[in-house]
Amino acid sequence: TVQPWQKFTVHPEKCSSYRFRFISSVDLHCPIQVSIEDHNFTVIASDGEYIEPEENVSSLTLTNGERFDILVDVSGHEERAYVIRFGGAPGEFANCKDMSAIAFLQYGHSKVDQKLEPNYSESINVPGRHINPLPTIELPSDQVPTPVSDLHSIHTLDHQGPADKTFYLQFGDGDNGANVNNILFDLKTITTPLLAQEEDQNQAALCDASYAEEGLICNPSLDKHSCACQNILNVKTGDVVEMFLINPDLEVPIAHPIHLHGYFFNVLGSGSIPAENPMAFIRQKNEEGNIERNLDNPPRKDSIQTIPGGYLLIRFYADNPGYWLMHCHISFDVIEGQVMVVKVGDRSEWDIPEDFPECGTK
């Protein structure tokens, strides 16, 4: 059965501005470009967090897990149906390249042509401002990119002092699969719930904390776990935590979309990295005080695409104790082990009922 294209009906005589929330629920490396025929719009939020309005935007890209809220001004337009375009971002390693879909912005009772076919070229070649473009592609000359790091939250940054804990995280794809610092999270060793049965945790399966804290690449021939272990990052409740998300421009330059559970983080900055020893380069620059930080209302998100050949710097205030998953949002990469767990605080800081049932294998 062929399903009709979705239509969204607006009535300018009743309401001159409509709010849309676009949600990316894809699971492959599938950044999606969104635009509306003959309509620019205002971006007002990302991942549910309000930003200073970005006006006169013609297109935006959503990657896995991201959400963007926009306002569409429907006053002064001819009463007809306009095409809402969805196009998979181009690029050699984008799984949705050449794929497109449409919906309709229907004014009143105007006619909708359900026989209309999507036009991929039109969906990815919209002139004007483009919010959050895939960083690995060359945009058309008439598009003006605005990366997430250039957005501004409506809220000030509460904790502007030096970080209490810093992690250096390098995302890559190796022979054994997608990894962090060449570590694969060994999900098979999680046999009991971390939060409810911490005392039953297999301590022998924990990764060496120095890889993330010191910015080191795991060597399978030297590491006691052969770089397959439980990659748990420990912070104290009340810590200001910074993370450098580093993505070398390797043979497979994928903009791994990273999602952190339990928190929103501020995006403080981004920059380029050298091909050789990028984590050591970033750590040295950071310790010498040579990393620029935007502390002026930096945007708040919980999902973000990393930059092949570059780094992102994110920060959050650890005020939500517990075990929180952090992972690439590409399903295959999660399965392969591009996963971490951020442990905030200790067992005394979360309440587990005394009669809470136990499960798993001790």
For the whole model, what pTM was predicted? Answer: 0.95
> Burial of 114 by CB count in 10 Å (0-12 exposed, 13-18 middle, 19+ buried)?
exposed
Pairing of strands 310-317, 322-328: unpaired
Residue 18: enclosing H or E segment and its boundaries? strand 17-23
Residue 135 to residue 74: CA distance in whole angstroms: 31
Strand partners of residue 244: 168, 313
The phi, psi pair for 349, rounded to 5°, reads -105, 0
The phi, psi pair for 346, rounded to 5°, reads -135, 180
Conformation bin of residue 120: beta by default, left when phi > 0, alpha when psi is -120 to 50: alpha
Going by C-alpha positions, the residue among 141, 134, 160 that lies closest to residue 297 is 160
pLDDT tens per residue across all 362 residues of the chain = 578 999 999 999 999 999 999 999 998 999 999 999 999 999 999 999 999 999 999 999 999 999 999 999 999 999 999 999 999 999 888 899 999 999 999 999 999 999 999 999 999 999 999 999 999 899 999 999 999 999 999 999 999 999 999 999 999 988 889 999 999 999 999 989 999 998 888 899 999 999 999 999 999 999 999 999 999 999 999 999 999 999 997 778 899 999 999 999 999 999 999 999 999 999 999 999 999 999 999 999 999 999 999 999 999 999 999 999 999 999 999 999 999 999 999 999 998 888 899 887 66
| Residues 6 or more apart whose Cβ sits within 8 Å of residue 57 | 40, 41, 42, 43, 70, 128, 129, 130, 131, 146
